[in-house]
Amino acid sequence: MIDLETRPAPVPDRPGPLRRAAPALLGYAAVRVLGLAVLACWSAARGKSALTLLTARWDSVWYSGVAERGYGRVVRLPNGDVHSDLAFFPLLPWLERLGAAVSPLSHGTAGLVVSLLASLAAAWGIFAVAEQLYGGRAAVGAVLLWAVLPVGIVQSMAYSESLFTALAAWSLYAVLTGRWVTAGALASLAGLTRPVGLAVTAAVWAAGIAALAGSRRADPPLSGTRARARCLAGLLLAPLGAAGYVLWVGHRTGRGAFGYLDVQAGWRNGFDGGAAFARFTAALFTSFPSALAGAALTAGVGLLLWLFGICVRRGQPLALLVYSGTVTVLALCASSYFGSKPRLLLPAFPLLLPLAVALAGARVPRAALVVGGAAAVSAVYGAFWLNGSGPP
């Protein structure tokens, strides 16, 4: 007889997104706390303030200045360069102004709080993307690898890298899960954060066009008129942030669409296809001590290209390939500020996914040793870097 009272055993609910990401976020926070602790000790030993290094040096001064006084600051250097704060996109200063308005924090310290919170959001976004593609263990590895990058201390500065990476990662996750309007809206916000927001827009557009065209590279594919309409809406939203700011700068400078390019030229920054960077690297090989730096730099570029090649061969989704490829090209082909290139590459987290998959396949003690060692090196290097030349 059939026992009508017998019920199937309940299937345990899958943990929620935050609970699944919790180990990665805790590990990420531990790496960042280590980096900040080493920075505080190193700075104190040199009679410097770690808080000042994180909030009131280099670009963070420009961001907090925009937040406090609005745009309009211009610095004319003896060599004729003209540095205008119009080079800095507005989303971080807006958030700094909001933070200072609702709290007793200064604009710079509010920027640090924004960056710290955004770095956690970025770590969660990286986890979500990696988990969607490769599973939970690889996702934890991806977050930890991003945390222990040599210039990872920038994630804890009043800079826009963490905010941008958070918006980019969640926009890419929205693409991977077919949430096109969300992807477009986040891409638009990324375009208000940094010039490299172009990479997020390009990723959304590439994936969206492939989906609308019914390409086999489309993942997920579109089904139905409403899905296609949402995809089109996302494509229309994606470029609005960057386009709006660039057009506003053009209007303010009276140079139209070329206004922002003129501002960047004042900083001696532009796109030359990598020619200046190649000359800079070649020049390092003219003497023995600097030749070591040249060899390391060449090896680093080779590693980036090798990782991108692996991503292509393993069939990484189109949106991620376009995003990381564009970030890499824009960073390496900029004509100035060669020392800042590692920082500019920080948002290119999809390049870490092959390494994260390899880390997930390793035994736990070995993986812990690799991550722990890298975290220690990153913490020491970050403290040394900020107490020296720092990120330009």
Q: What is the pLDDT of residue 13?
A: 65
Q: What is the pLDDT of residue 55?
A: 96
Which residues fall within 8 angstroms of residue 307, CB to CB, at 6 or more apart? 351, 352, 354, 355
Residue 55, domain member (yes or no): yes
Residue 8, domain member (yes or no): no
Total structural domains within the chain: 1
Q: What is the pLDDT of residue 280?
A: 84
Residue 279, domain member (yes or no): yes
Cα 260 off chain centre by: 22
Q: Compute mean pLDDT per 10 residues along the chain, 392 residues long, and list them.
A: 42 78 97 98 96 95 97 92 96 98 97 98 98 97 97 96 98 97 98 97 97 79 88 97 97 90 90 86 84 87 95 96 97 83 95 97 94 97 93 76
Buried b (16+ CB within 10 A) or exposed e, 63-72: bbbbbeeebe
Residue 9, domain member (yes or no): no
Q: Is 260 exposed, middle or buried (0-12, 13-18, 19+ CB in 10 A)?
A: buried
Residue 59, domain member (yes or no): yes
Question: Which tokens in the block code for residue 266?
Answer: 């004042």
Look at the block and give the residue holding tokens 């807006």: 94
pTM: 0.94
Q: What is the pLDDT of residue 1?
A: 38
Q: Could you tell me which of 230, 233, 242 has the C-alpha nearest to residue 201?
A: 242
| Integer Cα distance of 348 and 322 in angstroms | 11
Q: Look up the domain containing 101 and give its range.
A: 21-71+79-346+354-386
Residue 377, domain member (yes or no): yes
